[in-house]
Every structure is written in structure tokens, then in C-alpha cells.
Amino acid sequence: MELELDLEIIFKKTCIFLLLLLPFNKINSQQRGIKPTIMIVPSNVWMTQNGYYKTLIEQGTTVKIYDYQKAFDNDPLLNSIINSTGGKFAERGFNLVDMNQSLKLINDRIEKNNITGKTLNILDELALEVSSDIILELDFNIKNTSLGRKMVDRFSMTAFDTYSSENLGKAGLPGSPSTTPSDEILVLERVESFISNLESDIIRVFEGYIQNGRKIRLEVIASEEVVDFGCYDYYGTELSNGKLLFEFFEDWVYENGFNGNGNVDPSPSGEIINLIFNIPLVDENGRNVKSLNYATKLLRDNTLRSMFKMRPEQVGLGHSILNLTSCN
């Protein structure tokens, strides 16, 4: 009889353990099948060299605004090189986003911001619109050499994470003088020479993301009102459970960071808090996860909702803000 009871208890515990593992295994299996999505863009150097930019003065600082749509509309070589380069990445299993077509999706926002005079980071807007994982900056220049030959005297491909803006890898070197008549073929020869190196760097980073998550920043900003009215003091406000506010945020990051990875970086006054932590690439349904998902999760926290009125704001795929606007 005792043996039967022991076996029944072991069976129940095993079933519970397996049930707890199911969501975790589902997320991991979803992540293992991920192929990064890439959007290829002309480099800032190329855009400047070819005159596709304008300068604005904002708060005494000169800001350079790149006109990508004009570049695509006026430079057939750029179009053909980016399309062909994209095709080579697609052959290697990467998902691609067509920058030229995607620009049309955000054209209304660009026009609206031109009217209001507000500077719009077009690459951030594009990344939000199409949810690309990587922005690949393509830089090249072709010059004439002796005896009717040409050469690619500047070439590089640089991959940036659209969530953190971190450099994932760079590859490329100038080519040699050639009698090849096609400028596109000259550049694509450079792409072929270095694409494997860059692919290895990207895959290595994404394998790390699958194991440890990808870094995002959730910024919590306390308004003057919540500070002045006394409901917010990062180091002094005590919650109903006896914890102080700074302990609440530290625990929240640990509980919500992928594999517990994360930290809290408050400003000296504590009125701006950067929650920097890792998140999975996708959720249990295979959908891309972004920083706004966690801003809204924090927004729904009952402890904070009892204390503050809050408003989330999406800055980029890997950066969102939760504004503490007023006291409850």
C-alpha cells in the first residue's frame, strides 16, 4: 500500500514538472527555428558622397537627414546592387525586407514630420514598421584606374542589431583593378568574397541571443508632478508589501529578464530609471518580442497601478518608455 502511494506521488510530481517545462520548451523550439530578418541600407558615407542628404539646425546642433527615397529613385546602380546583395543573403536562409518598398509605408509620417519640422529617425521608423532584426549598411565606391580598368576602392558590409544598435560584425576590403565592364558585378564580387565571414558573425550573435536573450532598455521616467506631490521617491517610497520602490524595480527586472539577465541603472536623482535586461527573440506563439511588450507588462502591474497614472511610449524595437505622469 505504501509503495503504491509513493509511486502515485512520484507520478504526479513528474506530470507537474513536465507541464511546467512545456512553455519553456515551446519558446526554445520557436527560437531555434529563427532566421534573422535583414534590411539592407546604403551607408551614411555613400549617402553623403552622393549628395542624398540635407542638414538642419536643431537646438544649436547640425543634424544630417538622409533622403533614402531620393537615392533609390535616382540611382539604378544602388537599386541593383542592394537587390542582388539581398538575393545572396536570401540564398543563405535570411529573411529580407525591401527598404525601397518599406519607405513607402512610412511616407505619410515622413511628410508630416517635414511639415512640423520634427526630426524623424527614418531607420528607427522603418525597423518599427517591418520588425527587422538587422540593419545591414552597405558601403562601396567605384573609381577608374589605368588602361580603362575600374576597381572598388572602398567596400564594407556592417550589421547592426535594430534593438540595441550594437555592431554585430563588419566585413570587406577594396578590390583590385578589373576589366569587368559591369559596375554591379564589381561590387557583387566583393559581396561574394566577404558574405561568409559576415554571416558567421551574425549567426554566432544570434545563437547567443537564443541562449541568453537579446538586450532591451525600458526607461521609467517620473514626471515633476509625481515627485512634487510626494508619491515618488526612488529610494524612499515604501510599498504596501514593505519593499522600497528601488527594490521593486530590481526584483521586477530579475523576474522578467530572460534567464534572470538584467540590471537597473537609475539617474543620480532616481527620477529616470533604465531597466536593462534580456528578452527572448519570440514568444510562445512565435511572434517577435519587443520592448513595448514589457512596457505594457509593467503598466499592468497592480502595485504601480495603485500608485501612479502611467503612459507607455515606443521609441524603437529595443527601447520603450513608461512615463509616470501623475499620482493616484
Q: pLDDT tens digits, residue range 168-195? A: 999 999 999 999 889 999 999 999 999 9
In a domain, 217, yes or no: yes
Query: What CATH number does residue 219 fall under?
Result: 3.30.1360
Same domain? 57 vs 205: yes
Same domain? 206 vs 217: no
In a domain, 171, yes or no: yes
Q: Which of 161, 190, 210 is the last residue of a domain?
A: 210
In a domain, 3, yes or no: no
Same domain? 145 vs 126: yes
Total domains present in the chain:
2
Distance CA 123, CA 99 (A): 10
In a domain, 198, yes or no: yes
What is the pTM (predicted TM-score) of this model?
0.82
In a domain, 254, yes or no: yes
Query: Which residues span the domain enclosing 135?
Result: 37-210
For residues 118-135, one letter each, b for 16 or more C-beta atoms within 10 angstroms of the residue's C-beta and e for the rest, the string is eeeebbbbbbbebebbbb
Same domain? 124 vs 194: yes
In a domain, 202, yes or no: yes
pLDDT tens digits along 213-235: 999 999 999 999 999 999 999 99
Same domain? 206 vs 236: no
pLDDT tens digits along 45-101: 999 999 999 988 877 888 888 999 999 999 999 999 999 999 999 999 999 999 998
In a domain, 46, yes or no: yes
Angle at 79 between CA 78 and CA 82, to 5 degrees: 80
What angle, rounded to 10 degrees, do the helices at 183-212 and 76-91 form?
50
Q: What are phi and psi of 133, to 5 degrees?
A: -85, -35
